[in-house]
């Protein structure tokens, strides 16, 4: 295999990760805040109370600020597939491009059509049509997220495809298998719900700020009630889908699960580590050093969460590298060396097939094609050099997962406490709880980012699970060019973020009274 500049791979990954992380600052709040403002407008439509119109328009303004910048960062993110990951785009563009194209044709047009009515249609269209436009704008944003998450889920679990050796491309065999794969369905629900939780935190925290300043108390109390109740429901559903995510990871990405738990040697009835500290003396996967030095664990829970069996065998990093353990499909896992050998056989057969076709030797081409198809499931392993290449960053995955989960349960308790004191009408005078509500807003962003760290870092080295590692997916360009654009994008996105925060703060300080002008 031709060697690829390691710095090119690292800078390409860093640039894509940075763009995605900035993009995900704007998307989840848009998804969550969009539903909340739609609920508020629905209350205005049903009651005719102008106070609800004022409330809905205030949150709608904050929604619009996030929406605009989210679109800008998302467009750059999609372009990077072609600029930095052209081999990936060529190899699976027939499949990966479909959901992105549908997003652009359906979701963007839907959002662009109705968002203009939502912002400028007050008093120009009927109340019912305006309400429908608001809900359709949010639906468009959610549908847009659907197609992006379907594409990402396919990278985690490549279903519904067939490899065409004549074009050296993977082609879609079943659109519905791509759309409705269990990984795609769960990823969509879990990611959107995380945005809903953030929306609940955002509305609750901003409402608490108004209470602290003793401004717009009625507006703040009404908004806080809806935000906290919506956030509570979303958090409960998020925890349920989080369990589903863990189950899917165990079924399809056992190395990611092993990294999440710092599990090096598997066994039956494996515990789930609630809190733990990794051993800094652990230097290699096979050095025999205990990976976790201090922990609080729940007996057999990992086996149950991953396989719905308290005594199920959960493979660790060493097991996955050495092979020999029973897999969920009833087969025996191959070792890394065996999978690498089969992958190299598949790569060699592809080359031999194409040469035989050029030479007109159809019999030899048929033989090589059969060899390729037999070994294609391990195609990506042929690009890996050593067992360590198969192991993701364990500390980053391990700690990110734990902080994310702990924050999820914190949000559950937070919303319950807010609703209890809100119902007792005491929250207006509880400055400490108001401060907690305000400071909880950034925790929602952190939890969302950590979820993506677990999802993406945990599946390394794969651009497409088991099919294409990152070193085979990267574009053949200069590492210096990627480095330069990394810092250009970093500066651009940081300026956009600072500008967005400044505009948001200005709108929040002005408060909802500015919306009373439109009667």
Tell whether 307 and 396 lie within a shared domain.
Answer: no
Tell whether 284 and 366 lie within a shared domain.
Answer: no
Tell whether 139 and 274 lie within a shared domain.
Answer: no
Range of the domain at 486: 6-253+392-517
Tell whether 233 and 275 lie within a shared domain.
Answer: no
Question: Last residue of some domain: 287, 322, 357?
Answer: 322
Determine whether 227 is exposed, middle or buried from the number of CB atoms within 10 Å of its CB (0-12, 13-18, 19+). Answer: buried
Tell whether 29 and 135 lie within a shared domain.
Answer: yes
- Percent of residues, the chain, with pLDDT higher than 70: 98
**Residue 469, beta-bridge partner list:** 462
Tell whether 168 and 300 lie within a shared domain.
Answer: no
Question: pLDDT of 86-143, one tens digit each?
Answer: 999 999 988 988 888 888 777 777 887 898 899 999 989 999 999 999 999 999 999 9
* Region of residue 360 (left: phi > 0; alpha: psi -120 to 50; beta: else): left
Q: Where are the alpha helices (DSSP H) in 280-335?
A: 301-307, 317-322
Q: Mean of the pLDDT values across residues 204-221?
A: 95
* Residue 341 belongs to a domain: yes
Mean predicted lDDT score pLDDT of the chain: 92
* Region of residue 157 (left: phi > 0; alpha: psi -120 to 50; beta: else): beta
* Residue 191 belongs to a domain: yes
**More confident: 518 or 240:** 240
Tell whether 160 and 291 lie within a shared domain.
Answer: no
Q: What is the total count of domains within the chain?
A: 3
Question: pLDDT of 303-359, one tens digit each?
Answer: 999 999 999 999 999 999 999 998 888 889 999 999 999 999 999 999 999 999 999
- Percent of residues, the chain, with pLDDT higher than 90: 81
* Residue 195 belongs to a domain: yes
* C-alpha to C-alpha distance for 42 and 305, rounded to whole angstroms: 39
pLDDT at 72: 75
Tell whether 290 and 415 lie within a shared domain.
Answer: no
Q: Mean of the pLDDT values across residues 64-87?
A: 84
Tell whether 371 and 399 lie within a shared domain.
Answer: no
**More confident: 482 or 513:** 482
Question: pLDDT of 256-280, one tens digit each?
Answer: 999 999 999 999 999 999 999 999 9
Contacts by residues 172-175 (CB-CB < 8 Å, ≥ 24 positions apart): 172/94, 172/95, 172/98, 175/98
Question: pLDDT of 224-233, one tens digit each?
Answer: 999 999 999 9
Question: pLDDT of 355-401, one tens digit each?
Answer: 999 999 999 999 999 999 999 999 999 999 999 999 999 999 999 99
Tell whether 233 and 365 lie within a shared domain.
Answer: no
Tell whether 157 and 299 lie within a shared domain.
Answer: no
Tell whether 340 and 232 lie within a shared domain.
Answer: no
Q: Mean of the pLDDT values across residues 409-435?
A: 96
* C-alpha to C-alpha distance for 43 and 45, rounded to whole angstroms: 5
Question: Last residue of some domain: 272, 295, 322?
Answer: 322
* C-alpha to C-alpha distance for 184 and 180, rounded to whole angstroms: 6
């Amino acid at each position: 295999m031709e060697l690829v500049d390691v710095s090119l791979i690292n800078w390409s990954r860093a640039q894509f990760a940075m763009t995605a992380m900035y993009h995900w600052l704007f998307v989840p709040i848009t998804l969550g805040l969009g539903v909340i403002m739609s609920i508020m407008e629905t209350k205005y439509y049903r009651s005719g109370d102008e106070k609800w119109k004022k409330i809905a328009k205030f949150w709608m303004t904050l929604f619009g600020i996030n929406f605009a910048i989210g679109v800008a960062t998302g467009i750059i993110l999609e372009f990077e597939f072609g600029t930095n990951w052209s081999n990936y785009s060529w190899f699976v563009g027939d499949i990966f491009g479909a959901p992105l194209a549908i997003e652009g044709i359906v979701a963007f047009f839907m959002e662009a059509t109705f968002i203009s009515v939502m912002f400028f249609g007050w008093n120009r269209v009927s109340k019912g049509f305006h309400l429908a436009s608001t809900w359709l704008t949010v639906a468009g944003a959610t549908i847009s997220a659907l197609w992006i998450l379907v594409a990402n889920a396919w990278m985690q679990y490549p279903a519904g495809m067939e490899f065409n050796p004549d074009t050296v491309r993977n082609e879609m065999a079943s659109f519905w298998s791509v759309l409705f794969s269990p990984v795609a369905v769960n990823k969509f629900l879990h990611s959107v719900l995380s945005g809903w939780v953030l929306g609940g935190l955002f509305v609750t925290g901003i409402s608490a700020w108004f209470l602290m300043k003793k401004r717009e108390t009625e507006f703040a109390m009404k908004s806080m009630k809806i935000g906290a109740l919506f956030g509570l429901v979303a958090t409960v559903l998020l925890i349920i889908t989080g369990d589903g995510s863990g189950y899917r990871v165990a079924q399809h990405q056992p190395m990611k699960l092993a990294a999440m738990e710092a599990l090096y040697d598997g066994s039956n009835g494996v515990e789930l580590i609630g809190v733990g500290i990794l051993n800094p003396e652990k230097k290699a996967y096979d050095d025999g050093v205990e990976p976790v030095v201090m922990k609080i664990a729940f007996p057999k829970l990992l086996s149950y969460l991953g396989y719905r069996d308290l005594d199920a065998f959960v493979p660790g990093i060493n097991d996955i590298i050495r092979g020999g353990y029973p897999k969920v499909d009833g087969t025996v896992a191959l070792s890394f060396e065996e999978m690498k050998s089969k992958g190299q056989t598949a790569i060699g057969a592809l080359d031999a097939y194409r040469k035989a076709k050029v030479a007109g030797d159809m019999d030899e081409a048929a033989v090589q094609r059969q060899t390729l198809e037999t070994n294609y499931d391990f195609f990506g392993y042929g690009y890996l050099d050593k067992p360590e290449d198969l192991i993701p960053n364990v500390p980053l995955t391990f700690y990110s997962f734990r902080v994310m989960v702990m924050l999820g349960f914190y949000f559950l308790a937070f919303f319950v406490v807010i609703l209890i004191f809100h119902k007792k009408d005491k929250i207006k005078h509880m400055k400490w709880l108001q401060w907690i509500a305000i400071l909880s807003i950034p925790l929602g962003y952190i939890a969302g980012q950590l979820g993506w760290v677990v999802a993406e870092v945990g599946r390394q080295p794969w651009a497409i699970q088991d099919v294409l590692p990152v070193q085979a997916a990267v574009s053949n360009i200069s590492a210096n060019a990627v480095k330069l654009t990394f810092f250009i994008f970093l500066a651009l996105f940081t300026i956009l973020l600072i500008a967005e925060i400044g505009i948001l703060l200005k709108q929040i300080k002005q408060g909802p009274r500015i919306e009373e002008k439109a009667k």
